[in-house]
């Protein structure tokens, strides 16, 4: 190799290391965990030709484009939020009988109030959820807002599209937002036919390429529907046949959703609007005068979380719930890969006598996450944390029950992706009736679970244990 060849090689190599230094500079200014920052810096120094493109695609911990979009529309959203608080009966104010520091923290994380005069219905499976969704869409008179991580053009997807096309023909507006990574297999024909019928459609990832800038590691994992600003739905169920248990080659999915009627539906609408504004730069005219439900009188808070928040909102929600639990904290999550903060909080709760139970699936759609979950059994068992594996099918629900004080149903998992990378949304209620329904549901689920013990990990082969520990190293990426 000649000197000229070496000099030509030196130029791209120098540029590569300059790019690596720029990435390191960004990491040092914005890292959230020291472990993750150190891992990235070592990779960038040692293998820059691999680490630089990987960092550009997956290394960001803050969704910069969304933050800018939020600031651009923040005044309008703030005005709507102020109106929301003024028009609803809030329990988020000091002096109210339900007021507590714990609830106040949740309101500050959400930037929304707890509201009265709602009615929540627990939907315990896919069949009940889709039946309720279809009914609400059929009854819509003005508009339908939809936002789902996964949308399929299967039987459920075709039924959804048929209803939406029929409502569009009746003059009802449809605004449809989906995540392009979660819905990667959604057919273009499905989207084109719905758009041709008059629906406004946007993709969370592709809808605003100018702002996105390689931020493909961030996903909109929310699943929500709002009809006329009065009725809303939120939970773990996407739009697909797998939730009905009718697919011959797939285990049935166990999941949970909830229907909300009343002022809290406006909270779902606010979260949808912010996402829609990011994806399309548009702000449709919607109903911001929620109707109180006389039959309900349930207290509900809508908690949107995501990587554009000032704090790690999802992490703080779980820490707040675990640290304030007095008698029990029951969590159902399909993915159990907690970071050290969450694991330490669960251990402390168990050590102070709280009944800590975590329900996870025996059968998983991710072998890596299933292996990683085994590595926590020793820590969990020694502290008195009960890890229960749900046996029939794949349990996909995301539910939290804190004492008999509040219950939460939403989209957030106990993993790094939900804590730091995904846009999630959760409905929290202090209603005794709803809490009783969640308690009854989880007790029934527990009868179909097997309690895991330390020996389930320790008595496995050394190769299996090494695999579990090795996969756990990838926890920040799972």
Active-site option among 223, 241, 275, 277: 223
Q: Tell me the two tokens of residue 294.
A: 């006389």
77 vs 326 pLDDT, higher one: 326
Q: Contact 401/407 with Cβ under 8 angstroms?
A: yes
- 396 is known as an active-site residue: yes
- Given a cut of 50, is residue 83 above it in pLDDT? yes
Instruction: Count the residues in the chain.
Output: 478
**pLDDT at position 476, please?**
64
Q: Which of 271, 298, 325 is the last residue of a domain?
A: 298
Asked if the structure places residue 202 within a domain, the reply is yes
* Whether 142 is catalytic: no
363 and 463 assigned to the same domain = yes
Residue 241 pLDDT > 70, yes or no?
Answer: yes
CA torsion sign for 93, 97, 102, 103 is negative
Residues 225 and 340 in one domain: no
Mean pLDDT of the chain: 85
Q: What is the pLDDT of residue 383?
A: 93
Active site residue 206: no
The Cα-based distances of 384 to 38, 87, 117, 350 in angstroms read: 32, 45, 39, 6
Catalytic residue among 228, 255, 339, 445: 228
What CA–CA distances, in Å, run from 143 to 22, 155, 215, 266, 269?
Answer: 46, 23, 31, 13, 11
- 155 annotated active-site: no
Are residues 72 and 203 both part of a single domain?
A: yes
Nearest of 337, 324, 329, 330 to residue 421 by alpha carbon: 337
pLDDT at 67 over 60: no
> What pLDDT, on a 0 to 100 scale, did the predictor assign at position 170?
97
Higher pLDDT, 284 or 74: 284
Residue 98: inside a domain:
yes
Q: What is the pLDDT of residue 126?
A: 93
pLDDT at 97: 53
Task: Identify the CA nearest to 411 among candidates 222, 194, 163.
Answer: 222
pLDDT at residue 371 is higher than 60: yes
Catalytic residue among 275, 398, 415, 445: 398
CB 399 within 8 A of CB 256: yes
DSSP 307: T
Final residue in a domain of this structure, among 268, 298, 328: 298
Q: Is residue 184 part of a domain?
A: yes
Check residues 199 and 83 and name the one with the higher pLDDT: 199
Tell me which of 125, 154, 396, 415 is the catalytic residue. 396
Active site residue 228: yes
Place of tokens 């009265």: 116
For residues 151 and 325, give the distance between their C-alpha atoms in angstroms, rounded to a whole number. 36
In a domain, 307, yes or no: no
Domain of residue 384, CATH code: 3.30.870.10
Give just the sign of the alpha carbon dihedral 196, 202, 203, 209. positive
Task: Give the pLDDT mean for 154-178.
Answer: 96
My answer on whether 265 and 125 are in the same domain is: yes
Same domain, 243 and 336: no
Q: Which of 221, 275, 277, 445 is catalytic?
A: 221
Same domain for 261 and 396?
no
**Residue 213 and residue 271 share a domain:** yes
- The verdict on 189 and 242 lying in the same domain is yes
Are 59 and 87 contacting, i.e. CB atoms less than 8 angstroms apart? no
C-alpha 50/C-alpha 382 separation (Å) is: 40
Q: Residue 113 pLDDT > 80, yes or no?
A: yes
Confidence of residue 71 (pLDDT cuts 50, 70, 90): very low
- End-to-end Cα distance, the chain: 43
Q: Is the pLDDT of residue 425 over 80?
A: yes
Query: Nearest-CA neighbor of 45 among 37, 178, 81?
Result: 37
Same domain, 466 and 339: yes
Rounded to 5°, the CA angle 423-430-450 comes to 70
Residue 305 lies in a domain: no
Q: Which residue has the higher pLDDT, 314 or 77?
A: 314
Split into its structural domains, the chain has a count of 2
161 among known catalytic residues: no
Say whether both 369 and 246 belong to one domain. Answer: no
With beta carbons less than 8 A apart as the criterion, state whether 232 and 260 touch. Answer: yes
More confident residue, 96 or 409: 409
In a domain, 366, yes or no: yes
Residues paired with residue 387 on neighbouring β-strands, in sequence order: 358, 452
Per-residue confidence (pLDDT) for residue 478, from 0 to 100: 60
What is the residue range of 324's domain? 313-477
Given 297, 365, 403, 439, which residue is catalytic?
A: 403
Q: What is the pLDDT of residues 430-477, one digit of tens each?
A: 999 999 999 999 999 999 999 998 888 888 888 888 887 887 776 666
Tell me if 290 sits within 8 A of 87, measured CB to CB: yes
DSSP state string for 203-238: ETTTTTHHHHTT-TT-EE---EEEETTTEEEEES--
The phi-psi region of residue 303 (left if phi > 0; otherwise alpha if psi is between -120 and 50; otherwise beta) is: beta
Asked whether the predicted pLDDT for residue 70 surpasses 60, the reply is: no
Indicate whether 339 and 467 sit together in one domain.
yes
pLDDT at 446: 97
pLDDT over threshold 50, residue 211 = no
Residue pLDDT, tens place only, 287-338 = 888 777 777 678 999 999 988 888 889 999 999 999 999 999 999 999 999 9
Are residue 92 and residue 155 in the same domain, yes or no? yes
């Amino acid at each position: 190799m000649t000197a000229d060849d070496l000099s030509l090689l030196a130029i791209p190599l120098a540029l590569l290391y300059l790019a690596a230094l720029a990435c390191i500079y960004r990491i040092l200014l914005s890292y959230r965990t020291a472990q993750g920052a150190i891992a990235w810096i070592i990779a960038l120094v040692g293998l820059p030709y691999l680490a630089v493109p990987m960092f550009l695609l997956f290394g960001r911990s803050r969704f910069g484009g969304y933050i800018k979009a939020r600031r651009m529309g923040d005044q309008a959203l703030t005005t709507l939020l102020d109106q929301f608080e003024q028009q609803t009966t809030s329990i988020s104010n000091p002096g109210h009988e339900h007021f507590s520091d714990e609830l106040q923290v949740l309101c500050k994380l959400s930037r929304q109030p707890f509201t009265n005069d709602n009615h929540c219905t627990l939907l315990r499976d896919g069949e009940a959820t889709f039946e309720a969704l279809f009914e609400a869409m059929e009854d819509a008179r003005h508009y339908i807002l939809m936002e789902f991580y996964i949308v399929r053009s299967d039987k459920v997807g075709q039924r959804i599209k048929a209803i939406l096309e029929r409502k569009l023909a009746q003059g009802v507006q449809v605004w449809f937002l989906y995540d392009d990574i979660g819905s990667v297999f959604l057919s273009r024909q499905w989207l084109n036919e719905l758009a041709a019928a008059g629906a406004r459609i946007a993709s969370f990832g592709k809808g605003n390429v100018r702002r996105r800038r390689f931020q493909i590691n961030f996903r909109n994992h929310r699943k929500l529907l709002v009809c006329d600003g009065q009725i809303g739905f939120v939970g773990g169920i996407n739009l697909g046949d797998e939730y009905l248990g009718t697919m011959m080659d797939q285990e049935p999915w166990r999941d949970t959703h909830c229907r909300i009627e009343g002022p809290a539906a406006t909270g779902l609408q606010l979260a949808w609007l912010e996402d829609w504004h990011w994806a399309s730069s548009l702000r449709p005219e919607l109903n911001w005068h929620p109707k109180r439900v006389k039959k309900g009188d349930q207290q509900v808070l809508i908690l949107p979380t995501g990587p554009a928040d000032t704090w790690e909102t999802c992490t703080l929600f779980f820490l707040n719930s675990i640290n304030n639990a007095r008698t029990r904290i029951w969590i159902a999550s399909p993915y159990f890969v907690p970071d050290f903060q969450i694991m330490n909080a669960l251990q402390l709760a168990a050590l102070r006598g709280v009944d800590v139970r975590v329900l996870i699936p025996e059968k998983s759609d991710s072998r890596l996450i299933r292996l990683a979950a085994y590595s926590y059994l020793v820590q969990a068992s020694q502290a008195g944390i009960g890890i229960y594996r749900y046996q029939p099918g794949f349990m996909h629900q995301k539910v939290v029950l804190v004492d008999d004080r509040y219950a939460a149903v939403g989209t957030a998992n106990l993993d790094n992706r939900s804590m730091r990378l995904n846009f999630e949304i959760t409905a929290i209620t202090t209603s005794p009736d709803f809490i009783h329904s969640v308690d009854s549901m989880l007790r029934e689920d527990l009868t179909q679970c097997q309690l895991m013990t330390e020996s389930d990990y320790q008595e496995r082969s050394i190769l299996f244990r090494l695999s579990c520990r090795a996969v756990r190293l990838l926890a920040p990426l799972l």
